[in-house]
Amino acid sequence: MTSTPDSKQGPSRRLFLAGAAAVPLVAIRTQPARAAEFNYKLATGQSLTQPINARLDQACQRIREASGGRIELKFFPASQLGSDTDLITQVRTGGIEFLNIAGSVISTVASGAAITNVGFAFSDYDHVWRGVDGPVGAYVRTQIEKAGLIVAAKAADNGFRQITSNAKPIKTPDDLKGYRIRVPVAPIFTSLFSSLGASPTSINFNELYTALQTRLVDGEENGLVTIEAGKLYEVQKYLTETNHIWDPFWIVANRRAFGKLPDALQEIVRRELDRAAMEEREDVARLTGTLKGQLASRGLTFETADKAAFRKSLTQAGFYRDWKEKFGAEAWKALEAVTGELA
């Protein structure tokens, strides 16, 4: 998800830098660039402290080196080139050639990508990676490529999502009745929280901090890494560990631009972006293990959710039935092969 840059180096930033071999997140390169045969852009909407940015910055440098300077992949993180929705438009039209984007957001142009966002479907990371590196991921790739894009790498980890709130803790579906919660610009998120009785509002992440600060919305939902990176603990009081949705990052490419690369260069790009995604998974796992304590020390009170009650409420509201019909039997079968039957 997108965020504003984090200008302070707190404990998690220092930990992350060590975990990523102390490579600067975004190096401002002042050296004159060598002439490259292919000058492409890679953009993200994620804030500077998120692991995906360090790993993609490293990948850009490795791609240049491995290609002998034939590819110059310039890196633009932290919404420098626009919001998530702007960036999707740009990568589809060729304004940028590569984009790291959350599955929830890419689903606005490739609706099938939302299959990974079915509420309370994945119970743990064993389910997640068996699905996204297997039948569920294969289905999503097909859906994204039908939208005219190329999936250029394995999925990275945007984390299990938790609910944060300001006025009161959210522990059961009843606590969400009429609750104004920010969600990404993604239909399945709106459907999920509407089914639970909330009043979801779609807002790009780079506008979220202000929306919480001004009480345009009461709360939001995101992974711990994103909550910390976006400093949302400054404008929220409670965090409920719901794990209600897992969301991937997909690195997508403009089809025409990627197709111009000779096969050998395509192989280099895919190899290095795959490496970035796999290393980012490890970074997120390491950070998640420490962030709960850090966020608690910054004032967030952690609450336990009644997950069974949330899932029961979704079943009664017809959430699973409706989305099974929308995705179709083939996609739902691929999902349930990993998660088990979803009522």
Regarding whether 183 and 103 lie in a shared domain, the answer is no
Question: Are 47 and 91 part of one and the same domain?
Answer: yes
Phi, psi at 72, each rounded to 5°: -110, 105
Please report whether residue 83 resides in a domain: yes
Predicted pLDDT of residue 12: 45
Q: Are residues 276 and 305 in the same domain?
A: no
The answer to whether residue 113 sits within a structural domain is yes
Cβ-in-10-Å burial (0-12, 13-18, 19+) of 287 comes to: buried
Distance CA 266, CA 40 (A): 13
Provide the 3-class DSSP secondary structure of residue 32: coil
Residue 151 resides in a domain: yes
Report yes or no on 138 lying in a domain: yes
Tokens at residue 295, please? 């966020």
Same domain, 52 and 143: yes
Q: Are residues 105 and 194 in the same domain?
A: no
CA angle 43, 48, 51 (to 5 degrees): 90
The pLDDT of residue 185 is 86
Could you please report the per-residue DSSP string of 207-223?
Answer: GHHHHHHTTSSSEEEE-
Structurally, how many domains does the chain consist of? 2
Give me the pLDDT at residue 7, please. 35
Q: Which domain holds residue 55?
A: 11-158+248-287
Are 88 and 195 found together in one domain? Answer: no
Residue 4 lies in a domain: no
pLDDT digits (tens, 9 = 90+) for 213-259: 999 999 999 999 999 999 999 999 999 999 999 999 999 999 999 99
Does 26 map to a domain? yes
Amino acid at 321: R
Are 150 and 176 in a shared domain?
Answer: no
Same domain, 128 and 222: no
Same domain, 99 and 22: yes
Q: Dig out the tokens for 42 from the structure.
A: 């890679």
Residue ranges, the chain, pLDDT below 70: 1-34
- Residue 182: strand pairing partners: 201
At residue 2, the pLDDT reads 41
CA 31/CA 33 separation, integer angstroms: 6
pTM confidence score = 0.86
Tens-place pLDDT, residues 123-156? 999 999 999 999 999 999 999 999 999 999 999 9
Q: Are residues 28 and 110 part of one domain? A: yes
CATH of the domain at 128: 3.40.190.170
* Residues 76 and 110 both lie in one domain: yes
Residue 3 lies in a domain: no
Residue 33, pLDDT score: 52
Tell me the backbone φ, ψ of residue 103, rounded to 5 degrees. -60, -35
CA 279/CA 173 separation, integer angstroms: 36
pLDDT of residue 63: 98
The token pair that represents 30 in the structure block: 């002042």
Query: Do 229 and 314 belong to one domain?
Result: yes
